[in-house]
Amino acid sequence: MPIKRVIAIIVASVLVFISVGVNSLSYIFTRDFNSMFENLTAANTGYEELVIEQGAGRDRIAVLSLNGVIQDTGGGTLFGAVGYNHQMFMSQLFDVLEDPTVKGVVLSVDTPGGGVLESSDIYDTIRAIQIEKEIPIYVSMGGMAASGGYYVSAPAEKIFVHPETITGSIGVIMESINYAKLADKIGIDFNTIKTGPYKDMMSSSREMTKEERTMLQDMINDSYERFVDIIAEGRDMTTAEVKKVADGRVMNGRQAIEAGLADEFGKIGDVIDAIKVDHELENATVFEYSPMDSFSSIFGVKVGNMFGRDVESELIAKILTDHNAPRMMYLYGER
């Protein structure tokens, strides 16, 4: 066999061996890294109990915080758990439901509302806690507890507000953007293939028909009536009394008390003191659920420190988690 052919075979064999080795190592390291990353970021939905006030005995009061837009975004992003985490909050509610030592709940609410389904999830679980455990739930409203924020607060035994709290906004909204005229002006055509006349209802590429608007309005009205009924039941009001202020208007703390939608002025400390006195829980331990540190949350903090959390991180999270399809919302002020 010519020496050149032997050398070529050897070189080819070496290249094949190197290629197989590199691919194998790449697979191993990639798999291990992905597994490690998944394990690190899995803790993003974890939390632990943090004692606020140590009491005597076994009775405990749980303080739950509902902050941010009520929307299930799947448990956060690589940039950390920015804002509300629906899965985590629901897990906390279920922990309260199953914990025999919890004798009272203080719900701190600071949200403009959010999704109809997510708000309903929270409301249903709060009612289950009240019915099955027969324990009091008090609400402390922060700067904003509007629309879905009020929806989840309505069943509480007492609602406390700050004079500057923005609440109300009782109603349902569903929006889409129609840029058909703009597209026509700049020469963009839309090719739509559908199985029925209403399959692209609320499409951004055409005008909505009267029939479609009627269908959607009827659907939204159902959600609105459920909202009104929940408030009427929770606040011991008639539906007529609720509908006097259930026109989408917002109100401050004073107006909410005068309208029968809230009970007293008070901050979170006042609410904790009130539930203790009202229900003989003076010796109870007060605790809250605190998110546990994770790779994604630490990374998110670092990104937040570098670029600022207030606007930039919220915008990044919104871009990564927003859904394009129109949906019904119990939401105030989000455009």
Q: Name the helix (H) or strand (E) containing 329.
A: strand 329-331
Q: Which of 72, 122, 120, 117 is nearest to 92 (CA)?
A: 122
| Tokens linked to 23 | 């691919």
Residue type at 155 in one-letter notation? P
Q: What whole-number distance in Å separates Cα of residue 278 and Cα of residue 155? A: 17
Q: What whole-number distance in Å separates Cα of residue 41 and Cα of residue 148? A: 29
Sequence-separated (6 or more) residues with CB below 8 Å from residue 133? 96, 97, 102
Active-site residue (options: 65, 108, 140, 147): 147
Alpha helices in the chain (DSSP H): 3-42, 86-98, 116-128, 148-153, 180-185, 210-235, 239-243, 253-258, 268-278, 295-307, 314-321
4 counts as catalytic:
no
199 counts as catalytic:
yes
Q: What whole-number distance in Å separates Cα of residue 328 and Cα of residue 265? A: 31
Active-site residue (options: 13, 19, 24, 199): 199
Residue type at 219 in one-letter notation? M
Active site residue ranges: 147, 199
